[in-house]
Amino acid sequence: SIPLGFFGGIGAASKSGILIKGSNYLEALNDVKYVVFDKTGTLTKGAFKVTEVHPVLEGLDEQGLLEIAAYTESHSTHPIAESIRAAYGKELDETRVEGYNEISGHGVQVQVDGREVLAGNAKLMERESITYIKPEAAGTIVHIGLHGEYAGYIAISDEVKEDAAEAVRNLKQMGKTTVMLTGDAKAVGEAVGRSLGLDEIHAELLPQHKVEEIEKLDAKKSPKEKIVFVGDGINDTPVLARADVGIAMGGLGSDAAIEAADVVIMTDEPSKVGTAIRIAGRTRAIVW
C-alpha cells in the first residue's frame, strides 16, 4: 500500500501546477543528483523573433526569402517554424506545398511551387553539400537552400524565461549539478547556458545524442542518485523517457511529451523543478 503522506505530497504539488504521475517519482525526486534541461522552450521562451533576413540569390529580396522560408516551415510545429511564419505574417496557400519531410535536429525539407527547399541549421547544409555563409549575428541561424543552391539565411533570437536564472541558482544551492543540452549551435548554447550559470553545457546534439548524454551521467553517478530531465517534448521525448524522472513543460509540450513524462509542469516555469524537489523532501519527512 502507498503511505498516506505521498497523497499529501502529490496534492501539494498539484496546487503548485505540478502533476506527479506516481508516488515512485516523488520518492525519486528526493535522490536527484543531476538536473538536465533542454534549452529551447524549457530555459528559453521558445518564441523566437526574426532579427535579420539575408538573401544571397540573384533576384531574391528579403520578403521573397521570408516567404520561401514560411512556406517551407508551414507544417512544422517547432518554435523556429512558428516564429518564421509569424514574421511572414500572411496567410499560407497550402496548395503550393508538397512532400513535407522533417529532419530531426536539422530542419525541414519540402517542395514549394515544385522546387525543393531546405530550411535548417549548418548541419543540414553540410549534409546536402550546400556552401553557406557563417554570419557573425548572435542567435539561431536558419539557412535556406533552394534546389541545391544557397538562398540565404534568417537570424532569429529567443529570450530566456524570467525565472530561468533563479531556477538554476536554487538547484545549485540545493547541491544539484545542472546541465543544459541543446541541438542549437555551440555559440548560442554556450551564451545562454553561461548567462544562466549552468554547470555543464552540451550543444549541437541530435535527439539520440541527448539520450547518450543522459547515459554518460548515468555511468558517472552512484546507483542511488537520480537524473531528472526537463524538456518541452519537441525532439526530446526519447530523453524524457530515458531519465529517472522526465519532466515536461505542460503548456508548451505536445501530447506525446505529456504522455512520455513522469511529471508535468503546467505553468512552464523551470523554477517549479526546485519546488517539486522541495515538496518531495517534505513528503519524505512526513512518511518516515
Nearest CA among 27, 26, 185 for reference residue 105? 185
76 is a contact residue toward Mg ion (CB under 5 A) = no
| Rounded Cα gap, residues 79 and 51, in angstroms | 15
Task: Say which entry of Mg ion, ligand ADP, none residue 262 contacts (CB below 5 to 8 A, set by partner kind).
Answer: none
Task: Find the binder of ligand ADP among 27, 31, 128, 184 (CB under 6 A).
Answer: 184
Number of amino acids touching ligand ADP (CB under 6 A): 22
CB closer to ligand ADP, 154 vs 279: 154
140 binds ligand ADP (CB under 6 A): yes
Name the 3-class secondary structure at 33. Answer: strand
- Measure the CA angle with vertex 142, ends 136 and 146; round to 5°: 115
Stretch that binds ligand ADP, among 8-16, 36-44, 88-96, 168-176 (CB under 6 A): 36-44
40 touches 158 (CB < 8 A):
yes
- Applying CB under 6 A, does 76 fall inside the site for ligand ADP? yes
Structure letter (DSSP) for residue 3: -
Per-residue binder mask for ligand ADP (CB under 6 A), 46-75, x = binder: ---------------------------x--
DSSP 95: G
Q: Which residues contact 250 (CB under 8 A, 6 or more apart)?
A: 19, 258, 264, 265, 266, 267, 268
- Binding segment (CB under 6 A) for ligand ADP, from list 26-34, 49-57, 116-124, 269-277: 116-124
Q: Where are the alpha helices (DSSP H) in 20-150?
A: 23-29, 62-72, 79-88, 122-127
- Rounded CA separation 13/278 (Å): 10
Instruction: At 194, list the grid cell.
Output: 553561461
**235 touching ligand ADP, by CB under 6 A:** yes
Instruction: Tell me whether residue 38 is one of the annotated catalytic residues.
Output: yes
CB 212 within 8 A of CB 220: no
Question: Given 31, 38, 262, 268, which residue is catalytic?
Answer: 38
Instruction: State which of residues 78, 161, 202, 226 lies at the interface with ligand ADP (CB under 6 A).
Output: 78
Footprint (CB under 5 A) of Mg ion, residues 30-49 = 38, 40
Q: Which region, judged by CB under 6 A, interacts with ligand ADP, from 8-16, 86-94, 118-126, 239-247?
A: 118-126
Binding of residue 234 to Mg ion (CB under 5 A): yes
What are the beta bridge partners of residue 53?
Answer: 154
Residues marked as catalytic: 38
Q: Which residues bind to Mg ion, rule: CB under 5 A?
A: 38, 40, 234-235
Q: Which residues bind to ligand ADP, rule: CB under 6 A?
A: 38-40, 73, 76, 78, 80-81, 105-108, 119-121, 140, 142, 182-184, 234-235
